[in-house]
Structure 1
Amino acid sequence: MQKGSLTTNHRQEALIGWAFIAPQMAGFFLFVLLPLGSVFLYSLQEKNLLFGTSAFIGLGNFRTLAKDPLFIKSLLNTLVFSSGVVPLNLLFSLLLALYLGAGSRGTGFVRGIIFLPVVTSGVAWAIVWKYLLQGGADGPVNYVLGLFGLQGPNWLFESGWAMTSVIVTRVLKNLGMNVLIFMGAVMNMPGDVIEAAHIDGAKRFTLFFKIKLPLLMPTVMMVSIVTIIGSMRVFDTIKLMTDGGPEGSTMVMVYYIYHQAFRMFDTGFASALAVILFLIVLLLTAIQWFARKKVSYYEA
């Protein structure tokens, strides 16, 4: 009797547990797994959102991708954007975390300034920077440069400067979150190891590259994965600041997916683009995930 009672209690606890997670699982299925499966299905169709027509064409969309110059350009733009955002974000966030973790003067003020863009709306951030980077002498940034006798370019309407502008503004937008993550890692570094290095005569650069950086490498790998995925998903900054221009110089893959799906109404082709982007992000994440095993432990 007692055994049966325990079995009944176990079943009741299991049912209660399933009841708690059921809404989350239903939401995950409806808003993640189902749309993801639909994207793969649509990528095999010639589907027009405007006319509501669809026809199965197999890998036809992927064969078209290989011949599409805009796809190649958007892919290269995405790589350029990520190659600019990720190293700059990691470098400055790590340096700022080390500075703030040392407890120097003004750290409270610096923390507030760095983290303020994170809690600011991405739309508001992009609109403000679009105003600041206006071309000509009337733009606030160019006006400041003019005070020093420098003539600023038309930041958002010249190919090279447009990409540089969106990279810098994106780095500044997300810098605070990575600083916060790195600060947690810096504060948890074993003090006895660092103190022993000081006693052995390790100087500033030696201490950083031989002691601190190896200890922080697991966090660096995790932050780099998150930052790379975020840089591959950028949309609001591109849409509001450059609209993919000038001449497609800032049209990254996410924006090209939007362009094909909601301007050209070619849902099938846009889904094929989304599948390619998904596979690229999955591959990069897998490479970094396996690489983390080689840097997860500090070796003297």
Structure 2
Amino acid sequence: MRDANNKRRRGPLYREAQWSGWLFVSPMVIGFMLFLFFPMAMSLYMSLNEWPLLGDHRFIGLENYSEVAADKLFWQVFGNTVYFTAGLVPLNIVLALLLALLLSKPLRGIGLFRTAIFVPVMTSLIVWAIVWKYMFATDSGLINQLLLMLGVQGPSWLYDTKLAMPAVIVTSVLKNVGLNMVLFIAALQQVPRSLHEAAVIDGAGKVKSFFNVTLPMITPTVFLTVVMTIIGSLKVFGQIYVMTKGGPSNSTKVLVYYIWEKAFKLFQLGYASALAYILFIVVLLLTLLQWHFRKRWVFHESEA
């Protein structure tokens, strides 16, 4: 039997199938090499150099990384990034799950509500941020105008160091919550109805049924959305650039915006590359950590 398999692998049809397979995947492989691996290798090399926009670069080893570690602004920016992620991820996941629970039932006209919530996902991020920037305007903004109708003097949302980041977080959540909602709706529709019927027979109410039946069954989707949302929150840039420019007093300056500022405003390309690699390592470690602990809370059908 082994001899027959070996003869097939040495045969012309097997070799032709191999070459055909490599030919079909070659565009993807070349794309990854050109647009992923080569830029990553080049960025690593630049991070080890003093690389001005004009003039020759000079190899300085890990000096850029040591400067980052001693940079007080970097640690403030890193704290802002953690703050943004810690505010956005739970709010996004919880709101998406609540919307999915409300909109997962096959009622007449429910598709209209699903579409309305999903439309911001397809809307240009820059357009969305501009609209919300005007809505958060101090004097003529819609939000403050509504508060004024209630007899409340609205604050300067985007010019207050304590309110600017929450305003950006809310804007970001409303922009992308529709995507996670759709994923949760798909997951909820896959939960067997017989499990809910069994829970009702056992005397479980809606709350207990959700936490003991529904939530464990959709944990794979919860895991996926949490990972995607965390990675997306660490890469936030457009909202910050349009709405606050990192202000006031650097209170909304996040890591990607800081990288852009160092690279394309101050032209410190080597330093910016070191920052980019630090962000890459942070994202990689967080993803590996979540992947490591997934078995403790992600439900598998084989466990049922």
**Residue 4 of structure 2: aligned partner:** none
Match of residue 113 from structure 2:
110
Query: Equivalent of 1:46, from 36, 47, 50?
Result: 50
The aligned residue for residue 274 of structure 2 is 272
Residue number among 90, 95, 110 corresponding to 1:92 in the alignment: 95
Change (3 A) 1:55 1:209: same
Deviation for aligned residue 1:109: 2.2
Superposed displacement of residue 164, structure 1: 0.8
Alignment-derived partner of residue 69 in structure 1: 72
Residue in structure 1 matched with residue 35 of structure 2 by the alignment:
31
Specify the alignment match of 1:181 in structure 2.
183
- 2:238 is aligned to 236
Aligned partner of residue 106 in structure 2, secondary structure: coil
In the TM superposition, residue 106 of structure 1 has moved relative to its aligned partner by 4.5
Contact 2:218/2:299, CA 8 A, preserved across alignment: no
Distance 1:99 1:271 in 2: 45
Tell which deviates more after alignment, 54-63 or 225-234: 54-63
- The 2-side partners of 1:297 and 1:129 are apart by 39
Equivalences for residues 1-300 of structure 1 within 5 A: 7-49=11-53, 51-104=54-107, 106-136=109-139, 138-297=140-299
Q: Could you list the per-position Cα deviations for residues 127-183 of structure 1 after superposition, in whole angstroms to 9, with x for gaps in the alignment? A: 1111111112x2221111111111111111111111011000000000010001111
**Post-superposition CA distance 1:233-280 (Å, at most 9, x none):** 011111011111111110000000000000110011111111111111
Kept in 1, the 8 Å contact 2:9–2:15? The answer is no
| Unaligned runs of at least 5 residues, structure 1 | none
Separation in structure 1 between the aligned mates of residue 108 and residue 74 of structure 2, nearest angstrom: 49
Shift of 1:53: 2.6
Deviates more, 1:32-41 or 1:85-94: 32-41
Going from structure 1 to structure 2, the CA distance change for 1:172 and 1:64 (only over 3 Å counts) comes to same
Cα distance in 2, alignment partners of residues 92 and 7 from structure 1: 57
Amino acid at match of 1:263: K
Q: What SS is found at the alignment partner of 2:246?
A: coil
- Paired residues, number: 297
2: CA distance between counterparts of 1:166 and 1:128? 12
In structure 2, do the counterparts of structure 1 residues 6 and 92 end up closer, same or farther at CA, with 3 Å as the change threshold? Answer: same
Question: 1:21-49, CA deviations, whole angstroms, 9 ceiling, x for partnerless residues?
Answer: 11111111000011011111111111112
**TM-score computed with the length of structure 1 as normaliser:** 0.95
Q: 2:238 is aligned with what amino acid?
A: D
Q: 1:148 to 1:104 in 2, by over 3 A?
A: farther
SS in 2 for 1:160: coil
Runs of 5+ unmatched residues, structure 2:
1-6
Structure 1 residue identity aligned to 2:163: W
In structure 2, C-alpha distance between the alignment counterparts of 1:33 and 1:202, rounded to whole Å: 53
The farther-off stretch of 106-115 and 196-205 is 106-115
* AA of the residue aligned to 1:31: F
Root mean square deviation, CA, Å: 1.8
- Please tell me the residue identity of whatever aligns with 1:12: E
Partner Cα distance (1:6, 1:230) in 2: 47
Q: Distance in 1 between matches of 2:39 and 2:89?
A: 28
2:159 counterpart SS class: coil
TM-score (norm 2): 0.93
Cα distance in 1 between the residues matched to 2:26 and 2:41: 20
Q: Distance in 1 between matches of 2:235 and 2:189?
A: 30
More divergent stretch after superposition (209-218 vs 289-298): 289-298
**Percentage identity across aligned positions?**
46
Distance 1:5 1:126, change over 3 A: closer
| Cα pair distance change 1:48/1:4, threshold 3 Å | same
